Structure 1
Amino acid sequence: MGRREELARGARETTRGALGLFRDNRRVVVLLAAALIFVWLLGEVASGEIMRLDTLAYQVFVETLRSDALTPFMEAFTSLASVVVLAVMAAVIAALAPGKAPGWCVAVNLVCVVVLNTVLKVIVQRPRPAGFRLISESGYSFPSGHSMVAMAFFGLLIWMVWRYHRRDVMRVVWCVCFGLVIAMVGISRIYLGVHYASDVLAGFCVSLIWLIFYTRVIAPAFVAVDAPRDPDAIS
């Protein structure tokens, strides 16, 4: 019995130590995980084969879920990462958000991500899926531009809300809502047949890596001044 208690205590201490290590280095852990996933996806795409991930996503979102009733909702979600919608939202943020220059914070973030996506697409040159598109799209497929923009834009909003909003239930609600928008934009691109699942996942990973750098190095210069930061918020 004493031996069991000792093993259980050791397991609890190991778990607490691992969780503490993650909390202290969560940015590094997330960055490494996103980078490894992206490199793996890039290697698979470079081989020229359609990944099992892409096949499974096609079966779920195209063959199983696609319907006349659902398509308008997916088109609405994909439009949330369009230039017009993001421009309007950026203008609202510039007018209402706290800080020295929140509009510039959002604009610089978006411009950099669009440029990064363009460069990666030109380098990889993966053709888009053919034969089951519901909307017309041009250009290369990997990584997904809409997914990158959604993660960069709404991910930055999550960072702003979590860092500067007072600690209450609405902070969690807003972050969850923005997170769902990011996920649904990516899913909509697969559903509409203009991207493979690997394109979407790669786009999320690249923008996540970018956001870790941007929110650490650049964004605070735009929004830190006069922004009422919660002392308990996660940095």
Structure 2
Amino acid sequence: MKDISKIAIFTLIFGFIILVLTMTLFIELADDVLEKEKFFVDRIFQDYIAFPEGTWLHQIMEVVTEAGSVLFLTIMSILVAVYLFFAKKSKWYSLFFSINMIGISLITQVLKLIIERERPELIAQYGGTGFSFPSGHSTGSVAFYGFIMYLLWKKVSIKWLKWVSVSFFALVAFAIAFSRVVLGVHFFTDIVAGMSLGLTWLVICIIALEFLLWRGRKKRNSS
């Protein structure tokens, strides 16, 4: 156990706790949606959070939501994967980042087809097409920006800069998910489920990555 870094131990313990909580939350929501249950919180958010076009919040969220679009995340994911492949000492970072993004995309699309929840409103302009549950913008954003936060937390040595950068990307991910409700293309439970699923998959990828990095360090130290 002496050769396991503190960051690895923290990641494993905290990761498993988050994994259990987020997976449980997603399964509970998915089960209720499959049973066609109506959620009071969805109605509240639709009545008070879904702003009409032309309002200042709606206009801001039109811009924010693009940071979680398929096109934007695809382009950025390719750039990040290429950067990690050439810049990092270990190619595992690039591999698991790619698995993280490709995996969450496939999982989200399969679940949408299985659950088949209709959207509150179909607006192709904001990527609001297809089935609603879980929110693809939410799953993709949590997976993408969450992995960026993980890299920053590990690699940024200046404490205040680490906290500021990680907090910024966390806020971006939350804002993207929130924008889907404001724009009226998702139910609130869609984004909660999406963020839960995205975080579950992200933690699985990070735990697997940390384990392989630890094995690599252990093998080098013993040789």
- Both proteins in one fold, TM over 0.5: yes
Rg larger in structure: 1
Deviation at 1:67, TM superposition (A): 4.7
Map residues 60-79 of structure 1 onto 2, 5 A cutoff: 60-62=48-50, 67-79=54-66
Deviations 1:9-33 (A, max 9, x none): xxxxxxxxxxxxx998322221121
Deviation at 1:76, TM superposition (A): 1.3
2:120 paired residue number: 129
In 1, Cα distance between equivalents of 2:158 and 2:203: 22
In 2, Cα distance between equivalents of 1:24 and 1:125: 34
The amino acid that maps onto 2:115 is V
Structure with the larger RCO, 1 or 2 (CA within 8 Å, 6+ apart): 2
In 1, Cα distance between equivalents of 2:62 and 2:163: 26
My pick for the range that moved more, 102-111 or 210-219, is 102-111
Q: Say which of 98, 101, 107 aligns to 2:88.
A: 98
Whether the 8 Å contact between 1:133 and 1:194 is mirrored in structure 2 is no
Dislocated runs of 4+, deviation >4 Å = 131-134, 219-222
Map residues 163-178 of structure 1 onto 2, 5 A cutoff: 163-178=154-169
Map residues 26-41 of structure 1 onto 2, 5 A cutoff: 26-41=14-29
In 1, Cα distance between equivalents of 2:68 and 2:89: 24
- Could you say if the C-alpha distance between residues 99 and 221 of structure 1 is closer, same or farther in structure 2, counting changes exceeding 3 Å? farther
2:111 paired residue number: 120
Q: Specify which structure has the higher proportion of helix.
A: 2
1:204 paired residue number: 195
- Could you say if the C-alpha distance between residues 106 and 132 of structure 1 is closer, same or farther in structure 2, counting changes exceeding 3 Å? closer
2:39 paired residue number: 51
Deviations 1:104-141 (A, max 9, x none): 44332111100000111111111111388974622111
Once superposed, what is the RMSD of the aligned Cα atoms? 3.0
- Could you say if the C-alpha distance between residues 225 and 160 of structure 1 is closer, same or farther in structure 2, counting changes exceeding 3 Å? farther
Deviation at 1:39, TM superposition (A): 2.0
Aligned partner of residue 41 in structure 1, secondary structure: helix
TM-score normalised per structure 2: 0.79
The amino acid that maps onto 1:109 is N
- Could you say if the C-alpha distance between residues 28 and 41 of structure 1 is closer, same or farther in structure 2, counting changes exceeding 3 Å? same
Deviation at 1:225, TM superposition (A): 8.4
In 2, Cα distance between equivalents of 1:220 and 1:113: 20
- Name the count of aligned residue pairs: 204
Deviation at 1:89, TM superposition (A): 2.5
The amino acid that maps onto 2:33 is V
Whether the 8 Å contact between 2:135 and 2:190 is mirrored in structure 1 is yes
Deviation at 1:91, TM superposition (A): 4.4
TM-score normalised per structure 1: 0.75
Unaligned runs of at least 5 residues, structure 1 = 1-21, 227-235
Aligned partner of residue 36 in structure 2, secondary structure: coil
- Could you say if the C-alpha distance between residues 32 and 83 of structure 1 is closer, same or farther in structure 2, counting changes exceeding 3 Å? same
Deviations 1:29-74 (A, max 9, x none): 21121122112211221221320121122123115x8753222321
In 2, Cα distance between equivalents of 1:119 and 1:131: 19
Whether the 8 Å contact between 1:147 and 1:203 is mirrored in structure 2 is yes
1:147 paired residue number: 138
In 1, Cα distance between equivalents of 2:165 and 2:25: 27
